[in-house]
Structure formats: structure tokens, C-alpha cells
């Protein structure tokens, strides 16, 4: 039986929140470190060189937000691990890419990026409840089901938020008490890793700290990045927008017929005239994953439910290269899978998560205000 993601509820100062996080799930934090911590050694970095490299990122993160480093320090102390290991969890893509550039080794996306993801936003006019629905399948290493948690952060300095994240991380996808939600999908372009940028995890965290969508958009669209990424934003007020982000530019996509669906290939016509999509060798099935989700949602009718979105995300068309991916080897030799299905209803303040949904249809409901509830198994 697949176990639900542990629920971690934290409050207080950034350091105190981090310490509570690390102390609650130390084994999962250590498992996150195991998954990513050895990569620098494989590139020929000894302990001193590793510390120096990660120290550079610590200073850059502190410049973006000193409280992020404080929270990471708390996580490290709570879990009994080194701060540099927590920084690595939060900036692995950027750290490994820089390490490769320093060593004059080609940056290989197969080592750094999530394998995929399919995301969707359903606006109120297409929702049976009249409330916005925002969700995603997160595709990455199957072992990340052993590191995933749902973190609730109760803040004195802004809106509370819920995030589905790897233990030790500050944010992945999530929503906040102001009704802002974010999911993100892998994208790739020829501009990747040609410049430094803020780690993607911290941009997502910055979004979840915002009271107003305008400032969430600012965080996504204007923060410099080291690599491409697709970020989907929504507000409980009834609006959603997708940003296909190159490291130095962001291209907006607006809802069509009350929905946005995005997988892992560039679709904006302006973006495609300016950048080259280099991700196709990694995710060729992306070209039909978003099509399948749109098709299934349209076939479900004009007024869509949470169950309709779940059924679209459970799609096994052309499995194992499907919307809902069973565990299979990827190009890097890792076992890849849909690690989790995450469905958010910001108006209700709830997030439903099913780990490894290709083999498990049991969701747990997490809330901004209440304790988690295990739900009945979703229908076939």
C-alpha cells in the first residue's frame, strides 16, 4: 500500500519553522539528501570545493531573501544535517549546472530537470461548483514518493500556505490563504544554463508568500532564472495565467474556453519564434499529454468537477508514456513515474494528493485550517 504524504505543520520565525520541519521528518530529509547529494562528488568535487560552490549559492539566496537561508538553517538543525545539504535540495538544478560549467562539462538536462508534469487550471465558468480548480501530475524519480511531504506554513508576516514539496525543500506546488495557487512544469531551451539565476524552488516559494496575484506574477515573470520552466498561476478570484519562462524572458498564455492545460513543450507562438525547444528528445510524449487532458475534460462536459480533473490526470493512453506514468526507466537510468497527483481548490483552502497515482487512487485531503483526512479510493 502506498503511504500518504506526511503532513508537517509549522509556525513561528523562519528559523523556528525550519527547525520544526526538519525535526518532524528527519528521515525524509535525509532521503532527499541521498537522492541529490552525491552528484557533486561524481563531478570531481571534494568536500572543500563542494562547500565553496554551495556557499556561493547561499550568498545569492540570502540576497534574494535572507529568511530563506534562516529557514534552511532551521531545517538542517532540526534534521541533524548540514546546511549545505539543505541548500542543495532547494537549488540542485542550478548548483549542478554551475558545477558542470566550472568543470567544462556539458550541462545535461537529463541530470537536472524533473522528467515532466501535466498541469491544468479550470476557471469558475467551466467549474460545476463555480470555483476555480488547479492541479498537476508531477513526474520525476519514483523514489521521491519516499521524500514527499505536505507542508503547512502558518505565518505572522503574510498569508499561510500549503505546499507539496520534497522534505527539506521550501516549496514546489501549492496555494495560500489569499487564494493564489502555483504549479510548475519542466521546459527546456537553448538559453538554459548560460547565466546564473534564482533557484526555481525559491521563486515558487516567493509566489506563495504574496497577498496579491500581481506580485505573484512579478515574481514569476521578472525574476532571473538559470533555466527554462513553465509556471501556472491562478487566483480564487477567477483568473489563471501560464508563463512559459526562458531564463531571461517570460511569455504569457491565457485561458482558452475557460481552461489552461500545459505539459512540457513550448506552445506560445511568440516564444517559438524566439527560442528553440530542446526538450523534445526528453519528453516526446508531451505533444499528446496536454491534448489528452483537454480532450477528456471537454468530453466530460461544460461544467467540470474535481473528479473530472482527476480522471483526466489518471489517463493511461499510450502507457507508460502517458499522462499518468507508471514507474519506468528514463534516459538517465533512473526509475521515473508520476510521483503524485495534486488537486487544489483554493476557495475551500484544500489540496488533495495521491502519491504514485498509477498504482494508487487514494487521496489525502490537506487543509489550510484543518487536519488531514484520508479519502475513499477514486473510481476507475
Q: What per-residue confidence (pLDDT) applies to 128?
A: 98
3-state secondary structure of 279: coil
Query: Cα dihedral sign for 371, 376, 377, 380?
Result: negative
Q: Which residues pair with 345 in a beta bridge?
A: 350
pLDDT at site 110: 43
In our burial notation (b when 16+ CB lie closer than 10 A, e otherwise), range 184-197 reads bbbbbbebbbeebb
> What pLDDT, on a 0 to 100 scale, did the predictor assign at position 154?
98
SS3 content of the chain, % helix, strand, coil (to 5): 35, 25, 35
Helix segments in the chain, DSSP class H: 14-24, 26-37, 39-42, 47-64, 66-79, 83-102, 109-112, 200-208, 213-222, 269-274, 286-299, 306-313
Bridge partners (DSSP) listed for residue 267? none
Q: How far is CA 79 from each of CA 48, 154, 172, rounded to the nearest angstrom? A: 22, 20, 20
Could you give the count of Cα atoms lying within 13 Å of 92 in the half-sphere of its Cβ? 22
pTM: 0.96
Output the pLDDT for position 108.
59
Per-block mean pLDDT, blocks of 10 residues, the chain (380 long): 96 98 98 87 88 91 96 98 96 87 67 75 98 97 96 97 98 98 96 91 98 98 96 98 98 98 98 96 96 98 98 98 92 85 98 98 98 88
Amino acid at each position: 500500500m502506498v503511504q500518504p504524504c506526511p503532513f508537517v505543520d509549522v509556525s513561528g520565525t523562519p528559523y523556528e519553522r525550519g527547525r520544526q520541519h526538519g525535526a518532524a521528518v528527519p528521515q525524509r530529509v535525509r532521503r532527499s539528501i541521498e537522492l541529490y547529494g552525491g552528484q557533486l562528488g561524481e563531478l570531481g568535487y571534494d568536500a572543500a570545493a563542494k562547500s565553496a560552490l554551495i556557499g556561493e549559492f547561499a550568498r545569492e539566496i540570502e540576497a534574494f531573501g535572507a529568511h530563506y537561508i534562516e529557514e534552511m538553517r532551521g531545517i538542517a538543525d532540526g534534521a541533524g544535517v548540514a546546511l549545505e545539504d539543505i541548500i542543495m535540495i532547494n537549488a540542485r538544478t542550478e548548483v549542478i549546472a554551475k558545477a558542470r560549467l566550472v568543470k567544462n562539462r556539458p550541462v545535461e538536462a537529463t541530470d537536472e530537470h524533473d522528467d515532466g508534469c501535466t498541469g491544468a487550471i479550470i476557471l469558475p465558468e467551466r467549474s460545476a461548483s463555480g470555483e476555480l480548480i488547479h492541479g498537476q501530475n508531477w513526474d520525476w524519480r519514483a523514489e521521491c514518493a519516499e521524500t514527499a511531504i505536505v507542508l503547512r506554513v502558518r505565518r505572522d508576516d503574510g498569508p499561510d500556505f500549503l505546499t507539496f514539496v520534497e522534505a527539506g525543500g521550501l516549496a514546489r506546488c501549492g496555494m495560500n490563504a489569499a487564494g493564489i495557487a502555483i504549479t510548475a512544469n519542466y521546459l527546456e531551451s537553448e538559453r538554459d544554463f548560460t547565466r546564473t539565476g534564482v533557484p526555481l524552488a525559491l521563486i515558487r516559494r516567493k509566489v506563495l508568500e504574496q497577498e496579491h496575484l500581481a506580485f505573484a506574477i512579478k515574481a514569476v515573470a521578472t525574476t532571473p532564472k538559470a533555466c527554462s520552466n513553465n509556471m501556472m498561476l491562478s487566483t480564487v478570484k477567477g483568473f489563471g495565467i501560464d508563463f512559459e519562462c526562458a531564463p531571461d524572458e517570460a511569455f504569457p498564455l491565457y485561458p482558452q474556453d475557460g481552461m489552461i492545460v500545459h505539459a512540457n513543450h513550448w506552445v506560445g507562438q511568440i516564444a517559438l519564434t524566439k527560442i528553440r525547444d530542446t526538450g523534445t528528445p526528453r519528453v516526446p510524449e508531451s505533444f499528446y499529454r496536454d491534448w489528452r487532458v483537454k480532450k477528456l475534460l471537454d468530453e466530460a462536459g461544460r461544467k467540470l468537477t474535481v473528479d473530472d480533473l482527476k480522471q483526466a490526470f489518471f489517463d493511461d493512453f499510450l502507457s507508460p508514456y502517458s499522462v499518468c506514468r507508471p514507474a519506468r526507466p528514463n534516459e538517465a537510468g533512473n526509475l521515473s513515474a508520476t510521483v503524485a497527483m495534486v488537486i487544489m481548490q483554493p476557495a475551500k483552502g484544500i489540496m488533495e494528493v495521491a502519491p504514485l497515482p498509477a498504482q494508487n487512487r487514494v487521496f489525502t485531503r490537506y487543509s489550510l485550517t484543518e487536519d488531514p483526512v484520508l479519502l475513499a479510493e477514486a473510481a476507475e
